[in-house]
Amino acid sequence: GYLSSSNEIGGEHVDFPFVSFEDISTATNNFSDSKQIGSGGFGKVYKGILQGDNEVAIKRLSKGSGQGIQEFRNEIILIAKLQHKNLVRLLGCCIFGDERLLIYEYLPNKSLDAFLFGMCRLLIHITSFRLAKMISQITNDNILRVLFIFGDDTRQYVLDWPTRFQIIKGVARGLLYLHQDSRLTIIHRDLKPSNILLDSEMTPKISDFGMARIFGGNKQEAKTTRVVGTYGYMSPEYVMGGAFSVKSDTYSFGVLLLEIVSGLKITSSQLVENFVSLTTYV
């Protein structure tokens, strides 16, 4: 079926594939913990299989979150109008009682932060010359044991330089589409490694548009009293004064770029203590 109720989508008419709650519950084994693949500020994400053996990622909004409901509506309105290879594809949604769910394409390599800062980082370091001698002293059984611990679906890749460059270019293309090439000017407002998902070819896809804002006409910037996003990735003028524009996303992209190139979490508390500013760090 199709979701076309303007009452459900904040007064705006949107035709969008609707998936029944029963089908989603079946696809996730009644939202089994074994199907959970992630969690965020507004809920949990599950892996499921819908009609046609299609693997999907299902984002279940936390119940009772009025703020989350607004982000849910915002995400549907926005992504229903966007099509780009470097943006995550929204396949459908579900509104059932107080349940709000979004169905996305499933991306097997999860998010970029898992490769930069998560357990995948061990495999990245294994490629370095300094650790090569250490690896030579480890038995094959131990190596297999380590690889088993870190999983087998996302760990087949390491972030070599061509892959890092591919990710940087892909995110830049996605941002350019949002800012200039789509018929709407869209400010993401929460660009960070955990919101960059990776497909089987390590192609990056920008996700999570719950915080995004649309600019119409010749509007170039706006101000808000409700600052949302992730500290460390937000531009100073946005954090201190609530002013945001395409430049805000560009600042976030710059921080992301530093993290991809360095392999360090620029926003970690340790770096905040040791460095006065990003320019000092660089």
In the chain, the domains with their CATH numbers are 2-105 (3.30.200.20), 107-282 (1.10.510.10)
Instruction: Calculate mean pLDDT across residues 128-156.
Output: 44
Query: Model confidence over 134-145: pLDDT tens digits?
Result: 445 545 444 434
The structure tokens listed for 19 are: 């998936």
Query: Model confidence over 239-277: pLDDT tens digits?
Result: 999 999 999 999 999 999 999 998 888 776 555 566 556
**Who has greater pLDDT, 219 or 186?**
186
Closest CA to 90 of 59, 67, 112, 132: 59
Do residues 214 and 186 lie in contact, with contact meaning Cβ atoms separated by under 8 Å?
yes
Backbone angles phi and psi of 77, in degrees to 5: -60, -45
Instruction: Calculate mean pLDDT across residues 11-25.
Output: 78
Judge whether 152 counts as a catalytic residue.
no
What pLDDT score does 152 carry? 42
Percent of the chain with pLDDT over 90: 43
Instruction: Calculate mean pLDDT across residues 165-172.
Output: 98
Give the pairing type, strands 243-245 and 204-206. Answer: unpaired
Determine the residue type at 144: L
Asked which of 27-36, 103-112, 206-215 is least confident by mean pLDDT, the reply is 206-215
The structure tokens listed for 246 are: 């395409």
Asked which of 14-23, 44-53, 220-229, 264-273 is least confident by mean pLDDT, the reply is 264-273
Total-model pTM: 0.78
Confidence of residue 231 (pLDDT cuts 50, 70, 90): confident
> How far from 193 is each of 24, 26, 94, 111, 115, CA to CA, in Å?
28, 31, 27, 7, 9
What pLDDT score does 276 carry? 57
List 15, 33, 152, 190, catalytic entry: 190
Please enumerate in sequence order all residues whose Cβ is within 8 A of that of 175, keeping only pairs 6 or more positions apart, or say none.
188, 191, 206, 249, 250, 253
Give the pairing type, strands 185-187 and 90-96. Answer: unpaired
